[in-house]
Structure 1
Amino acid sequence: MTEPDPRAEARDLLTSLGSAVSSEWSAPGRVNLIGEHTDYNDGFVFPFATPHRTHVAVATRDDGRLRVISTFDAVPVEVAIADLDALFPTVDGDHAVPEWSAYPLGVAWALIQATEADPAKLTGADLAFASDVPVGAGLSSSAAIEGATASALNELWGLGLDRVALAQVGRRAENEAVGAPTGIMDQMASMLGEPDAATFLDCRSLQTEEVDLGFAAAGLSLLVMDTNVKHAHSTGGYGERRASCEKGARVMGVPMLRDLAVADLDRAAELLDDVTFRRVRHIVTENQRVLDTVQTLRTSGPRAIGALLDASHVSMRDDFEISVPELDLAVETAVGAGAIGARMTGGGFGGAAIALVETASVEAVARAVEKAFTAAGFAAPTIFPVTPSAGARRDG
């Protein structure tokens, strides 16, 4: 069976609107190797861009309007560029447009806000989206939409923003137009990704460094185990965790949890209630694990990072409490089947786990996880290897 081609799907969808394609763009999802929920605490993260991408086909129009459509919602959403300011930001996540369309339209709004462009002078456009980034899997399908949209409109409107500025636009769209209180990791990974490398990002300074992973040379593969348990960051537990982090920083007398070290945890245990302390402990120790992972890759290679991946999952499971039984089972089974290390990835409450495995053992580990899910009565997971890939780009 032939796999769908999202680039062709986006082009065909645009053509079905009666529009002629003027440009094509894409941006990838991301896998976070380590560093979860540290981004909105001004901490460190270590993601890479995936081969899975969201494609957008663009057609210009001369009436000052934007029309967006996607393969997962065939009903077009159309607004005047001049009316974007009345749509965003949202009030308590209450969208005046279908939620999926708040991502690309929110990016358009955030671009105007960032550049103070005159909406009356901006070219209208039709944008048709198709994607093979799994939705709700913790692989940042949202950042892929944002990155593709921001890159396309940045050129169409002649705004001249660089990749970091476009990532900031994407984050503002997600925070204020969609209403999801996420950090900037996903957008930076989607914009800046490089083949065979991960992006070591300081979320306070936005300084980045591409670090070679060396997986292929070491005979290793990174396996994504999508539990197919869906999550949504604009609701529920994600916001609660962020509020706990803000409370912890406030009580500890620091601007952000980034400003605490492991040595501060004894004092934190005295000052904080149990739940807030455990939330803080995850962030502080996870920041240190990111630094340790980067250093270990440089000095000892990828086979030496397994214990750090394992410890990250335990911290997310027990201290941050964002795992679910399916994620725990995937991680435990993968390690039991010989994985070097494994952890859930993404915001939690569902989504995917990752496992660093011998390339020769990929099929055996995948079969073990599938068998364990069947035995537990869980829905079948979707399991596939990923390789670090390029960031947002123009494709045509």
Structure 2
Amino acid sequence: MSIERVLEGFATAFGRPADGVWSAPGRVNLIGEHTDYNEGFVLPFAIDHRTWVAVGLRPDRTIRVASASVDEVGTSTLDEVGPGAVAGWSAYPFGTVWGLGQVMSAGGASLDAARGFDAYFVSDVPTGAGLSSSAALECSLAVALNDEWALALSGPDLVRATHLAENDVVGAPTGILDQSASLLSEEDAALFLDCRTGESRTVSLGLVEAGLTILVIDTRVTHAHADGGYASRRAGCERAAAALGVKALRDVAVADLEAARGRMDEEAYLRMRHIVTENQRVLDTVAVLDATGAAGIGDLMVASHVSQRDDFEVSVPELDVAVDTSVAAGALGARLTGGGFGGSAIALVPDDLVGEVTAQVTAAFAEHGFKEPKIFAVTPSAGARRDR
């Protein structure tokens, strides 16, 4: 059991018992890709793969972080963490500390009286698979420190803190999708999130009642959001918004697309077309889920993948094979999930076809000479919490 494992790891690393254990989930984005940093709409859900953290406060302001998956122990202080001061994997937990301090400061408070801590992490969220292992780490620590330091920050406050960590300390120019899903999700539901206002509501998925399973197809092509591909897509969106004189591409409607084409370079137009149509697909997906349930969203998922492949150009051959083969084998819909450039696809599959879809995708990868994919079902799950 991961709770026992993280407690044992803490005791071994730091020579004392922890104060408690907290956890936060990875996420799958059902639909709404790259719309978050364009102030648009997204529809993620938390998955039943989590990161656990054991935390123990210290009498000084030293911070030490360790992980079951990393050999080194990262060390800093509450006064030294921040942009440019940390590197490597420890940027995620140290950045979270700094982000909490920024949110406290914005509210007229501080972490001046906070005590340092030791933290040990254990995770079963696959890294590099587009399932937001980084946000799971940040959010697990954020809820732990919110409790340990008695900060009384709300869920949206913690979203802001962990998002600041990702953007300003880690250096990944992502939106609020990942942290929101990890912190705010509920069981058997997706989180409909307005990334401009931060407002959200849960949308029932009802997969069990509908006899449906969501499969994750991890292509094992790793990616990293802090690299240039992600940043260049964001830059294209910003060029398009500037050319149209709008604050963000959220402000452009599908009906506006054709008239906008001549006002920017072709690459910026294609990036914009994906964002604008993807925002509409999120709204359409929520409407279908509310009205008739998950069985009706397959075509929207496929259209989302095509848009990411052709207009946003973030797919790779492995993802295209995963999507095309899944649908041919009986999936109602499939699409790449996450930032792209590798990672995972998801497929919405009738329960009785899970074995067939799995076998067909595995065979297709072998035929193409790709690495064998990791294929597993995920269950829409609850967000971050205290476990012990």
In the alignment, does 2:47 pair up with 1:68? Answer: no
Q: In structure 2, give the amino acid aligned to 1:288.
A: Q
Q: In structure 2, give the amino acid aligned to 1:42.
A: E
Aligned match of 1:273: 265
For the residue of structure 1 that corresponds to 2:208, the secondary structure is: coil
Post-superposition shift, 1:247? 0.6
Aligned match of 2:49: 52
Looking at structure 1, the residues matched to 120 and 254 of structure 2 have their Cα atoms a distance apart, in angstroms, of 47
Aligned match of 1:361: 353
Q: TM-score, normalised by structure 1?
A: 0.95
Post-superposition shift, 1:98? 4.1
Looking at structure 1, the residues matched to 182 and 246 of structure 2 have their Cα atoms a distance apart, in angstroms, of 30
For the residue of structure 2 that corresponds to 1:284, the secondary structure is: helix
Q: Give the unaligned 5+ runs of structure 1.
A: 91-95
Aligned match of 1:18: 15
Looking at structure 1, the residues matched to 111 and 287 of structure 2 have their Cα atoms a distance apart, in angstroms, of 47
For the residue of structure 1 that corresponds to 2:3, the secondary structure is: helix
Q: Report % sequence identity.
A: 55
Deviation per CA, 1:60-113, whole angstroms, max 9, x where unpaired? 1112111000011121111111222xxx213xxxxx544211001100011112
In the alignment, does 2:230 pair up with 1:238? Answer: yes
For the residue of structure 2 that corresponds to 1:7, the secondary structure is: helix
Deviation per CA, 1:277-317, whole angstroms, max 9, x where unpaired? 00000000000000000001122221111110000000000
Aligned match of 2:371: 379
Deviation per CA, 1:238-297, whole angstroms, max 9, x where unpaired? 000001101100001110000000011011212121111000000000000000000011
For the residue of structure 2 that corresponds to 1:83, the secondary structure is: coil
Looking at structure 1, the residues matched to 285 and 351 of structure 2 have their Cα atoms a distance apart, in angstroms, of 20
Aligned match of 2:5: 9
Looking at structure 2, the residues matched to 352 and 212 of structure 1 have their Cα atoms a distance apart, in angstroms, of 23
Post-superposition shift, 1:52? 0.3
- Equivalent residue for 2:77, pick from 75, 80, 89: 80
For the residue of structure 2 that corresponds to 1:52, the secondary structure is: strand
Deviation per CA, 1:161-210, whole angstroms, max 9, x where unpaired? 00111011110000001000000011000001100000000001111110
8 Å contact kept, 1:215–1:302: yes
Looking at structure 2, the residues matched to 7 and 316 of structure 1 have their Cα atoms a distance apart, in angstroms, of 38
Looking at structure 1, the residues matched to 315 and 164 of structure 2 have their Cα atoms a distance apart, in angstroms, of 26
Deviation per CA, 1:345-377, whole angstroms, max 9, x where unpaired? 000000000000001111110111000001110
Aligned match of 2:102: 113
For the residue of structure 2 that corresponds to 1:360, the secondary structure is: helix
8 Å contact kept, 2:86–2:169: no
For the residue of structure 2 that corresponds to 1:217, the secondary structure is: helix
Q: Give the unaligned 5+ runs of structure 2.
A: none
In the alignment, does 2:296 pair up with 1:304? Answer: yes
Post-superposition shift, 1:20? 1.1
**Aligned positions, number:** 384
The two structures, once aligned, show a CA RMSD in angstroms of 1.0
Looking at structure 1, the residues matched to 92 and 247 of structure 2 have their Cα atoms a distance apart, in angstroms, of 29
Looking at structure 2, the residues matched to 77 and 229 of structure 1 have their Cα atoms a distance apart, in angstroms, of 28
Map of 1:278-357 to 2, 5 A cutoff? 278-357=270-349
For the residue of structure 2 that corresponds to 1:53, the secondary structure is: strand
Q: In structure 2, give the amino acid aligned to 1:225.
A: I
Q: From the superposition, tell whether residues 284 and 118 of structure 1 become closer, same or farther in structure 2 (CA, over 3 Å).
A: closer
Post-superposition shift, 1:6? 3.0
Aligned match of 2:212: 220
In the alignment, does 2:89 pair up with 1:89? Answer: no
In the alignment, does 2:253 pair up with 1:261? Answer: yes
- Equivalent residue for 1:161, pick from 145, 153, 170: 153
- Large movers: runs of 4+ above 2 Å: 5-9, 116-120
Looking at structure 2, the residues matched to 301 and 203 of structure 1 have their Cα atoms a distance apart, in angstroms, of 24
Deviation per CA, 1:186-239, whole angstroms, max 9, x where unpaired? 100000110000000000111111000121111000000000100000111000
Map of 1:169-248 to 2, 5 A cutoff? 169-248=161-240
Looking at structure 2, the residues matched to 336 and 180 of structure 1 have their Cα atoms a distance apart, in angstroms, of 35
Aligned match of 1:102: 91
Post-superposition shift, 1:120? 4.1
Task: Answer with 151-160 or 276-285: which moved more.
Answer: 151-160
Aligned match of 1:34: 31
8 Å contact kept, 2:103–2:160: no
8 Å contact kept, 1:77–1:97: no
Q: In structure 2, give the amino acid aligned to 1:195.
A: E
Looking at structure 2, the residues matched to 369 and 278 of structure 1 have their Cα atoms a distance apart, in angstroms, of 29
Q: In structure 1, give the amino acid aligned to 2:135.
A: A
Looking at structure 1, the residues matched to 168 and 87 of structure 2 have their Cα atoms a distance apart, in angstroms, of 15
For the residue of structure 2 that corresponds to 1:20, the secondary structure is: coil
